[in-house]
Amino acid sequence: MDSIVLYTEEIDNLREATEDLFAQAENFALKKNTLGVLFAEEETDYPALYALLASRWKFPVIGCTTLAMLLAEQGVARTGISVLLLSADDCEFAVGMTADLNNENYEKEITSLCTSLSKELPAPPKLVLTYGGMVASEENVPEDEVIRAVETALGKDVPVYGSVASDGFNFNNYRVFCGDRATKSGQAIALISGAIDPVFVSTNSVENRADVSYKVTKAERNKIMRLGNGTFVEALTRENMEVSKQYVVGDYFLSPFVLSIDLGDGDVAEVTRTLSLLNLETGTGVFLGGVPEGAIVRLGILNQKDVQKSVNQAFEKMLAMLSKSGTRFRTLLCNSCAARYLAMASNTDAEAEAYQGRLPKGISFLGMYGNGEICPMYGNKTDKIHNFFHNFTFTIMAI
């Protein structure tokens, strides 16, 4: 599969922006089938942008808003529009978006869309690429549930990769893109079949933890009702944490909750979860991702040192995989947690420094900062792939 990354700083004059993108793609030979993956800052008028792109590009486009982009040459870019074009004669793409999702319709919507898209392909899908919105209310669906619904439709052996849309830390201007649509709570999905065999790397960036730990004694999906013998809010109160308001994602963005999760088949993973909302009437905490009953949770602390260490580990591992594969992989797509960007403070180029000048010749590279990362993990016992939703993680997919 061939690919190219396009980038323009222009967002105010969309005609100039699209002409810039078109000019950069002028010498890129489009194959039989093409998919565009687009990331843009929150102020971008996406419907107007897509109308201009569609005047020349007759292929599907999906993506989302992002706090910042990771680019091979420019490093970290806070402004602008970036597009990854994936083009192949031996791969097929089927693309669509659900209606706005809520707790009542998400299973039906996602299962129906995945089933319909798979019927458009001449062979079973080998990769799901997907982008969705964050949990901003108790009605929003966590991406764990999205993954589970995708697996219900397509099976657990199909890897799922993607991210949750982000914005400039106001947690209100994020949007998901698909075709001419832009929405906060739809799920954009692309199924890819054919000659594709992706590999994945993910590294967690939270090594510092508080001494105190709690057992989750009552939970439902992404909600913790009780920690130990009391409510979730009571536990936070004892630790002198913020409990005075409902919407607390900004307060806890650099203070993740760390827990271990049983993946099945003997595999166990340590993951982190971001607290988004507090229900002060019931004492419940609502997270961006799922938390199972019985898990032991500890409060983590994100810092620059751990962020830098984890991104270096991720690229060392991925670059080693690329060196062994020869020319098998042509594209790297990466997702980093927006909290990692915030943790780097004034040194926001630190993650870009891990790859700049080190990428093999002929490799296209594009990354974004999201409010959650979707990336398969390899089991610590079985080496089996487990589709998973992460927070505070740096992920890379090679295709």
Q: What is the pLDDT of residue 184?
A: 97
**How is the beta sheet containing 61-65 ordered, strand by strand?**
2-8, 81-88, 33-40, 61-65, 176-178, 181-183
Q: What is the largest CA-CA distance in the chain?
A: 64
The pLDDT tens digits along the chain (399 residues) read: 999 999 999 999 999 999 999 999 999 999 999 999 999 999 999 999 999 999 999 999 999 999 999 999 999 999 999 999 999 999 999 999 999 999 999 999 999 999 999 999 999 999 999 999 999 999 999 999 999 999 999 999 999 999 999 999 999 999 999 999 999 999 999 999 999 999 999 988 777 777 788 999 999 999 999 999 999 999 999 989 999 999 999 999 988 899 888 877 888 888 899 999 999 999 999 999 999 999 999 888 777 888 888 889 999 999 888 888 777 899 999 999 999 898 887 788 888 988 998 898 899 999 999 999 999 998 888 888 899 999 999 999 999
Q: What is the second-level CATH architecture of the domain 208-301? A: Beta Barrel (2.40)
Spell out the residues 6+ positions from residue 40 whose beta carbon is closer than 8 angstroms to its own: 11, 46, 49, 63, 65, 66, 80, 81, 82, 177
How many residues in the chain? 399
Q: What is the pLDDT of residue 211?
A: 78
Spell out the residues 6+ positions from residue 191 whose beta carbon is closer than 8 angstroms to its own: 93, 94, 95, 114, 117, 118, 120, 121, 125, 127, 128, 154
- pTM higher than the cut 0.75: yes
Q: Can you tell me the distance from the alpha carbon of 150 to that of 156, in angstroms, rounded to the nearest whole number?
A: 8
**Spatial CA neighbour of 84 closest among 333, 341, 337, 326:** 333
CB atoms within 10 A of CB 194: 18
CB 100 within 8 A of CB 183: yes
Q: What is the pLDDT of residue 17?
A: 98
**Spatial CA neighbour of 132 closest among 150, 152, 116, 115:** 150
Q: Can you tell me the distance from the alpha carbon of 80 to that of 67, in angstroms, rounded to the nearest whole number?
A: 10
Q: Any idea where the domains of the chain sit in the sequence?
A: 2-203+306-398, 208-301
Question: Sign (positive/negative) of CA torsion 270, 276, 278, 282?
Answer: negative
**Spatial CA neighbour of 123 closest among 92, 156, 158:** 92
Q: Can you tell me the distance from the alpha carbon of 377 to that of 200, in angstroms, rounded to the nearest whole number?
A: 7
